[in-house]
């Protein structure tokens, strides 16, 4: 007897699944938004005796160091998601992530408890790094496996819509407390407010995720006995070409993300001395602009393919980064807006496409593991370190164009893996074809029944 194929989820269910997955990404970037925008206040509370440059380096180390654990989160949580289901792991990651952010808002400052303050801050950031190692890959997998094949680009774009909305919400709240409180009140207790808000946000995301069934692709593989018993081993022995491909591309994605979103407010304020209000509002306004077009970019990738958009972005960063940063170096509001807008257009081409392009590179049985391990490894090595490296290079060389050179180097690297990347627009999620190192399968049912 043959199994009757399960009906695809209705649109309402797909939308709920997309919202539940994107919510975790929003919580993650809400934290990065408030951390980056409140870098000065955090430095004064946890590293008060350091000079200004050292304090900034220590604060940005608080972004970079936790990412040491992100690959371990991917290695541990990704295979659990392939073995036991996406939903269970994602319910855990969002609680761990939001709880760690909430705890940061409760830590006494250095003047109160001494060196224990930065140690507790580091421990909370390490917990965030571990949980996000499994969060992003799981959320991308969850959306891609729920979305209809012909609209996977559109629905996949909501993954990074969550990134932007979380960052915008965090930046807005951080900006509000900075503009609405006196400097003394802000540095005393006001900076804590945005971190405390993360607690309720995490509970909302957890509730949305627990009310959903697991993805149709995973449930189908589970019913057929086709889930992997050793997903970690399979990922490293069979999926290594896809892993290397993903890592190479994600270098550019994360250098661009962390430079433009996490580092740029500090670059405009501390390096170019543009002024606090303009330095906060310009990146925020451009993120809002990206929110309005990111879903259209995802839908466009359903029609023209993922690779043309990704290749346009990579070549664009190679060509445009230096002129864009030169505009910022004019230290005028107009120059800052124009330069940031040029880079933001290229960034949104990637953000609107990756949620559909990257998960489809892997088969169902190894998708969570492959995405989580590859993405978290590349992010830890190149993305989260971008603010720290750029700050140190500018301080060491005195060259304020360092962000341009860093973006151009990442773009040059990314062009090769994008060229090698399979085009998966419109291809069923259960059997992407033309993937390096993988024999194409004839149909989705064959993959579901493949032996371990």
With b for 16 or more beta-carbon neighbours within 10 A and e for fewer, the 14-46 pattern comes to: bebbbbbbbbbbbbbbbbbbbbbbbbbbbbbbb
pLDDT at 448 over 60: no
Instruction: Identify the pLDDT of residue 408.
Output: 96
Taking a C-beta distance cutoff of 8 angstroms, is the pair 448, 430 a contact? Answer: yes
**pTM, whole model, 2 decimals?**
0.83
Mean pLDDT calculated for residue range 208-230: 83
Model pLDDT for residues 35-64, shown as the tens digit of each residue: 877 878 888 888 887 777 777 777 777 767
Q: Using alpha carbons only, what angle is made at residue 107 by residues 71 and 66, rounded to the nearest 5 degrees?
A: 10
What are the tens digits of pLDDT across the range 365-415?
Answer: 889 999 999 998 888 888 778 887 888 888 889 898 899 999 999 999 999
Residue 19: HSE in the Cβ half-sphere, 13 Å Cα cutoff: 14
pLDDT over 70 at 436, yes or no = no
Q: With 0-12 CB in 10 A as exposed, 13-18 as middle and 19+ as buried, what is 191?
A: buried
Task: Extract the tokens encoding 78.
Answer: 């990704």
Angle at 361 (CA atoms; ends 355, 366), nearest 5 degrees? 100
Of the pLDDT bands very low, low, confident and very high (cuts 50, 70, 90), residue 7 is: low
Q: 331: left (phi > 0), else alpha (psi -120 to 50), else beta?
A: left
């Amino acid at each position: 007897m043959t199994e009757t194929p399960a009906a695809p989820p209705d649109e309402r269910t797909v939308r709920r699944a997309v919202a539940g997955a994107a919510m975790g990404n929003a919580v993650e970037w809400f934290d990065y938004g408030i951390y980056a925008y409140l870098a000065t206040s955090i430095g004064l509370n946890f590293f008060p005796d350091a000079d200004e440059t050292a304090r900034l380096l220590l604060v940005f180390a608080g972004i970079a160091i936790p990412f040491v654990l992100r690959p371990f989160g991917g290695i541990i949580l990704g295979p659990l998601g392939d073995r036991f289901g996406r939903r269970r792991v994602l319910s855990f990651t969002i609680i761990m992530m939001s709880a760690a952010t909430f705890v940061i808002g409760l830590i006494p400052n250095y003047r109160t408890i001494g060196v224990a303050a930065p140690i507790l801050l580091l421990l909370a950031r390490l917990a965030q790094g571990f949980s996000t190692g499994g969060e992003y890959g799981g959320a991308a997998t969850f959306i891609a496996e729920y979305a209809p094949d012909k609209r996977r680009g559109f629905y996949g774009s909501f993954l990074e819509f969550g990134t932007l909305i979380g960052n915008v919400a965090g930046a807005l709240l951080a900006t509000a407390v900075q503009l609405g409180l006196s400097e003394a009140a802000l540095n005393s207790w006001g900076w804590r407010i945005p971190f405390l808000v993360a607690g309720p946000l995490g509970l909302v995301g957890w509730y949305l995720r627990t009310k959903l069934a697991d993805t149709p692709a995973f449930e189908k593989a589970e019913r057929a006995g086709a889930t992997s018993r050793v997903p970690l081993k399979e990922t490293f022995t069979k999926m290594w070409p896809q892993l290397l491909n993903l890592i190479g591309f994600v270098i550019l994605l994360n250098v661009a993300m962390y430079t433009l979103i996490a580092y740029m407010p500090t670059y405009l304020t501390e390096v170019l001395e543009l002024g606090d209000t303009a330095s906060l509002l310009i990146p925020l306004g451009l993120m809002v602009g990206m929110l309005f077009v990111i879903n259209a970019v995802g839908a466009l990738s359903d029609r023209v393919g993922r690779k043309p958009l990704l290749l346009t972005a990579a070549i664009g960063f190679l060509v445009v980064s230096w002129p864009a940063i030169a505009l910022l170096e004019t230290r005028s509001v107009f120059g800052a807006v124009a330069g940031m807008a040029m880079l933001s257009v290229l960034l949104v081409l990637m953000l609107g496409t990756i949620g559909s392009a990257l998960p489809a590179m892997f088969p169902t049985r190894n998708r969570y593991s492959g995405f989580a391990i590859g993405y978290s490894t590349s992010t830890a090595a190149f993305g989260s370190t971008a603010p720290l490296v750029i700050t140190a290079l500018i301080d060491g060389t005195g060259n304020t164009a360092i962000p341009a050179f860093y973006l151009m180097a990442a773009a040059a690297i990314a062009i090769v893996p994008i060229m090698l990347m399979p085009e998966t627009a419109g291809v069923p999620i259960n059997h992407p074809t033309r993937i390096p190192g993988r024999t194409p399968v004839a149909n989705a049912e064959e993959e579901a029944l493949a032996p371990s």
